[in-house]
Structure 1
Amino acid sequence: MHDADVTWEEGKQICVAWGGVMVVPRFEGEMQHLDTMSSGQWFLIGCNDIQTEGTWVCLDGGTIDVQDKRWEYNQPDNYYNEDCAEVRAAGWNDIPCDLITRNLICQRSV
């Protein structure tokens, strides 16, 4: 976990420099592990809808459905042109890519 708050794009670059990508939690067990690891702090995840609004793609090559149960209630909402994703206590949330800073967790293949 990277303790300094960074923007989504900064986080993407940091993870690449470390040989990985921003974390994309795919399973409940991963979410629980990451929540423990982050001590309940909010953190960035490697998914965005920058290219096409409403089409969420992830840095691990996958996608996220906007109906996915991991999104918080009424999210993603694109309220302030929010094209990047974070994890909060209640679930995933969309945020502006360059205005909000959060902690960062990177993942790499073994």
Structure 2
Amino acid sequence: MLFVTPEYNRSVPGALKNAIGVGSRPYGASAWIKKPAAVMSVSPGAIGGFGANHHLRQSLVFLDMPVLQQPEVYVGGAYDLFDETGRLKNDDTRKFFKGFIDAFVAWIDRVGASH
């Protein structure tokens, strides 16, 4: 499961938190157990959603989801990253995102097979 979240008050949006909660019920029958996960956070600010990223990771650990630790992705200055059609403007950013996705695929292959 790839979670991409903005930051609201150093946490995730209420709708995302609610969706995670609904998927974790009923107790003992969570839809999240053992599903490999990764987190990307995005913000117009300089720290790129650091608070949301780490708050979400806490919830995912509790839900027994193996979470990719590296690379971490905090996307700051989001307003300047995309053109008017929604495409990334910068090749270095595109390469960084590709590296993250490649690491996540390897993570899924490694931990997904063991569960």
Q: Is the shorter-chain TM-score for this pair beyond 0.5, marking a shared fold?
A: no
TM normalised by structure 2 equals 0.24
Q: Using CA pairs under 8 Å that are at least 6 residues apart, name the structure with larger relative contact order, 1 or 2.
A: 1
Higher strand share: 1
Which structure shows the higher helix fraction?
2
